[in-house]
Amino acid sequence: MATPVTLIPGDGIGPSIADATVRILAAAGADVEWDRQVAGMAGVARWNDPIPDATLDSIKRTRVALKGPLETPVGDGFRSINVALRKTFDLYANVRPAYTIVPGRFDNVDIVLVRENTEGLYIGVEHYVKIGDDPKAAAESVAIITRHGSERIVRYAFEYAIANNRKKVTLVHKANILKFSQGLFLDVGRMIAREYEGRVQFEERIIDAMAMHLVMRPEQFDVVVTTNLFGDILSDEISGLVGGLGLAPGANFGTNAAIFEAVHGTAPDIAGKNIANPGALVLAACMMLDHIGDRGRATSIRNAFEGTIRDGLVLTRDLGGTSTTDQFTDAVIARLG
């Protein structure tokens, strides 16, 4: 029986890379029933809402979604897409793997960044402060970190490490300065780490030192867990170590759903030109297949995708080639055969 999956092609290059991904999964024999929905500017055009109720209802039904890049409308009156998805489905764990496909500056990068996805500065508690006659003389943003949120994200990182035969979890913090909020996160992390002692190695790194060590010796890191803002920054840095966001998939796991995505932007300058690299969404789809229990096909697709890139004969422009999206997709499919 086919697994129902909500498909949100997205904006800009989204529909092109989504079609490429669907073709590759079909060629691999993935038994998926796609429920196509809209969000972003496509949602505004159709429903005057960047995250329409029909799309949310679909995800509630399927509990699994694959989405392309979405453009966030500018102006008041529109819901934030990411906030709406995180709140509706409590998507507390953002998982971003990055590994070397083609040896370059770094040959042995294989890092999984686990980011807390619902708290911290991105929780959105902020306001202006009036001083004298100026109602916007200052602005204040509050970083909220809870024991519950910290416990579940750190535990998720350790459980991920065990399930995927990973050896080490690195917790990244700034507790030396932010002694209450980051201190709570660190204290909880140390407590959880003791439960896994002897099974998974644990270490702590201060955020600024971590950023430096990532570009000096990234091969020393395995699973990295951190708070929302730090995770947002470090995940892009880690993606840069392996070739950029075009090869960076992401997944958001919650209590009620899992949403897999390409984390790059909509690239409107190349939209409709058939030259975009579908790699990030293809790899996100592989994470989705892992999640629904189709690990064999996920591995086959990854091998075909990586082999196509390593051959260097059919590459999109961002990978140093001149091939179209369709040509690259055809080359991956040919390897599947």
Q: 């995708």: which residue's tokens?
A: 305
CATH number of 1-91+254-337: 3.40.718.10
Q: How confident is the model at residue 105 (pLDDT cuts 50, 70, 90)?
A: confident
In the prediction, which pLDDT does 315 show? Answer: 96
Q: How confident is the model at residue 331 (pLDDT cuts 50, 70, 90)?
A: very high
Closest CA to 224 of 212, 243, 238: 238
Q: Are 263 and 68 in contact (CB under 8 A)?
A: no
Across the chain, mean pLDDT equals 95
* Span(s) in the chain for CATH 3.40.718.10: 1-91+254-337, 98-226+237-242
Half-sphere exposure (Cβ direction) of 113: Cα atoms closer than 13 Å: 31
In the prediction, which pLDDT does 255 show? Answer: 87
What are 171-187's pLDDT values in tens digits? 999 999 999 999 999 99
What are 8-54's pLDDT values in tens digits? 999 999 999 999 999 999 999 999 999 999 999 999 999 999 999 99
* Per-residue CA distances from 82 to 116, 119, 196, 252, 304 (Å): 14, 13, 32, 10, 31
Q: How far is the C-alpha of 207 from the C-alpha of 224, rounded, in Å?
A: 11
* Per-residue CA distances from 290 to 251, 258, 266 (Å): 11, 12, 26
Residue 336 clears pLDDT 90, i.e. is over it: yes
Q: Which two tokens stand for residue 57?
A: 């209802």
Q: How confident is the model at residue 75 (pLDDT cuts 50, 70, 90)?
A: low
Percent of the chain with pLDDT over 90: 89
- List helix spans (H) across 179-294: 181-195, 207-216, 228-241, 279-291
What are 285-319's pLDDT values in tens digits? 999 999 999 999 999 999 999 999 999 999 999 99
CATH number of 98-226+237-242: 3.40.718.10
Residue 77 clears pLDDT 70, i.e. is over it: no
Residue 78 clears pLDDT 80, i.e. is over it: no
Dihedral angle computed from the Cα positions of residues 188, 191, 194 and 196, in that order, rounded to the nearest 10 degrees = -40
From the number of C-beta atoms within 10 Å of its C-beta (0-12, 13-18, 19+), residue 63 rates as middle
Tell me the catalytic residues: 122, 174, 208, 232
Q: How confident is the model at residue 68 (pLDDT cuts 50, 70, 90)?
A: very high
